Amino acid sequence: MQWVTRHTDADLGSAAQDALSKIEAVLPSELRHRLIDNDFHIGFPSLQAPAIDLKVLRQAMQQQMKLRIVYRDAKDADSDRIIWPIAVAFFDSRRIIAGWCELRQDFRMFRADRILEAALLADRYPGKRRELVKQWRAQVQEARDAMTHKTL
């Protein structure tokens, strides 16, 4: 719960705190101290806030809305993209957005810290997000399998 409250947006952090309060309310009194008495400490992120708000990103995924982003690649080249966000992942201190990229006509992963601008569009993307996630995961697995066979 500490991680969620410190690394996501206020709404999700508040929902995590609410869930923790509900869990605490039903625990026997002799176990309640274990909720706050733990051996782990979750630090606060040191990164600047990304251009894309996680609340907007979650809304885009839930409502299957397209996003227009300005993305800076590893070579410092900027490009305008329309993406269909399907998942967000957290790796160490980085946020990664997976989605269909209309420019590349393929699934891509975008580092949130390289998104310079983001705007929610009124356009919905076709199909079901769940199906797109399945296709993306299959593509990722296929790439992993190819890399494994290459190294063997």
* Tens of pLDDT, residues 53-76: 888 999 999 999 999 999 999 999
- pLDDT for 13 equals 73
| Same-domain status, 22 and 59 | no
In 9-128, alpha helices (H): 10-26, 29-36, 54-62
User: What residues have CB less than 8 Å from 49, skipping those under 6 apart?
Assistant: none
Whether the pTM exceeds 0.85: the reply is: no
* Total domain count, the chain: 2
CATH number at residue 115: 2.30.30
| Regions of the chain with pLDDT less than 50 | none
| Same-domain status, 119 and 64 | yes
- pLDDT for 44 equals 67
| Same-domain status, 73 and 138 | yes
Expressed as residue numbers, the domain containing 92 is 54-151
| Same-domain status, 92 and 141 | yes
- pLDDT for 90 equals 82
| Same-domain status, 82 and 115 | yes
In a domain, 66, yes or no: yes
- pLDDT for 38 equals 66
